[in-house]
Homo-oligomer: A and B are copies of this chain.
Amino acid sequence: MWARRLFEQSVGVGFMGSVRTARQRRARRRERGNAGSAATANASAYIKRQIPTYELLSEEGLDAIERHADRILKEIGIEIRGDDEAHRLFREAGATVQGDRIRFDEGLAASLCSTAPAQFTQHARNPARSVVIGGDCTVFSPMYGAPFVRDLEKGRRYATLEDFENLVKLAYLCPWLHHSGGTICEPVDVAVNKRHLDMVYAHARWSDKAFMGSVTLPERAADSIALCRLLFGESFVAENCVILANINVNSPLVYDGTVTQVMRTYASAGQAVVVVPFVLGGAMGPVTVAGSIAQAHAEALVGVALTQLVRPGVPVIYGNFFTTVTLRSGAPTFGMPESALAYIAVGQLARRNRLPFRCGGALTASKVADAQAAQESGDSLMPVILGGANFILHAAGWLEGALVMGYEKFVLDMDHLGMMHRFLEGIQLDDNGFAMDAFHEVEPGTHFLGCQHTLTNYRTAFFEPELTDNLTSEQWEEAGSTTAETRAYARWKEMLANYEAPAIDEAVDEAMREFIAKKKAAMEDRWY
């Protein structure tokens, strides 16, 4: 009130113009192009962080976790089930293999990870959109794996290939998502044994950002890589990382043979695996955070080590998925304080081992894009922003514990990611930032609205989200008493209506289509 009144008294109806009508806002967005953001953070292919990481645990605390991870690897060990080649690799590297169980002497697993690069580039077909993963860089990627979608118009329903393509397009349009993701939702109208082909094609065709491949079977991994060879060229793929594979560990302490074969498929092709211990504290890990972190660290080191034994120096990401359960029903919970703490600590472990780090996202158990969804998502995202995560999967769209990809949630999260861009830019402590000229121009008790420093800086001074409502109560009621969710609905509809596909070499497109048609023709539909 005070502020708005001061502003209104000072400059007439508004600051740099009157409150715009919805129609004027739409027109303004079109002027700015499809991406359509009024934001002032620096949109770029990925974020180079300019603020320090938050160091939650002391060196002694991190030592204790590594020591316990080593104890788990020595005293209990990890099972890789039915993958003789993986057994052979670990045996030759000095581990003790008995049946499927593999045990490691103290420090061995970590030392086997030492050939992994601290950061690497994942190439996009548009070179300007290639991303650097690791070091001081942060990459946001959409959610992964939802069998359902939800929107305000059609409610909750099984996802289809049309939904998948819509989401690839929305991610393409968003300046704050650096990556096209992988299985953003499951296109369940396509046969299980064929849908990976359509998903990889959609990423390759309807976006020009980097993307992820199939991990459900080794042959689907091979198909994903084969499509990349058509898209990027064989020799380029042989020398460069062009695809990521997100691998969940069968926690606790097991990799099934399919998983390790998929990992070996990607690693041997020089492509990057994201190794993700999947720990629900109390279920797939102990009910205490320290133990769950130690377990996850042990599991991650073994996965990373496997990629290095397959092909030393191949890029790989140290991942983590940890959450808690509610004791009321046993259901998984998200955005809880125990997870937030764990994410930060795990980031410290990743940095200690000089490995690119994946964690967090905008996670929630909420069914809809309400206050719970936003709170839990924020409390999942901020810790990894501060904790230095390099690749943030699930950064947009997640609802209902990953069962649902929410369209409104997707664009609401996008807006929040824009804010995180700005946050990671830090505070500019230069002469312009300190504005001494403004203090000399503006008398005490007056205001800075029209001073030269404000006029010079106002366009880039503050981040401007798209979906935030800052109207007066009266204006807001006139505009229909919207919520963030209803505004988000209008936004994604508008974005899709304005989508234009990035250009692609027709021969490349044709080659991919032909590859897919041939593959599909050789298979019967399987629905399980």
Contact = CB atoms under 8 A, between A and B. Distances in A.
Interface in A349-393: 365-379, 382, 386
Contact of A4 (B38, B331, B439): B331
Nearest to A298: B439
Interface stretch (A218-226, A480-488, A511-519): A480-488
Interface residues of A, number: 146
A281 B294 CA distance: 44
A435 interface: yes
A233 to B, nearest CB: 38
A203 B374 CA distance: 32
A286 B419 CA distance: 20
A327 interface: yes
Q: So how many copies of this chain end up in the complex?
A: 2
A105 interface: no
Interface stretch (A7-15, A107-115, A167-175, A494-502): A7-15
A315 interface: no
Contact of A288 (B426, B433, B459): B433
A1 interface: yes
Contacts of A453: 286-288, 291
A327 B470 contact: no
- The majority secondary structure among interface residues of chain A is mixed
B448 A283 contact: yes
B447 A7 contact: no
A473 interface: yes
A400 to B, nearest CB: 6
A426 B147 CA distance: 35
A434 interface: yes
Interface string A319-344: 00000111111111100111011100
Interface string A74-109: 011111010000000000000000000100000000
A76 B439 contact: yes
Interface in A121-173: 147, 156
Given A367-B469, A427-B289, A330 B378 contact: no
20 contacts: A3-B280, A3-B283, A3-B331, A6-B280, A7-B329, A10-B283, A16-B328, A61-B429, A252-B439, A252-B445, A282-B449, A284-B447, A288-B433, A288-B453, A291-B433, A291-B438, A325-B462, A341-B426, A370-B484, A376-B468
Given A101-B444, A290-B429, A367-B481, 5 more contacts: A1-B147, A1-B402, A252-B448, A281-B461, A375-B416
List of 7 A-B pairs having minimum Cβ-Cβ separation, nearest first: A15-B330, A290-B433, A7-B330, A291-B435, A253-B444, A286-B435, A374-B374
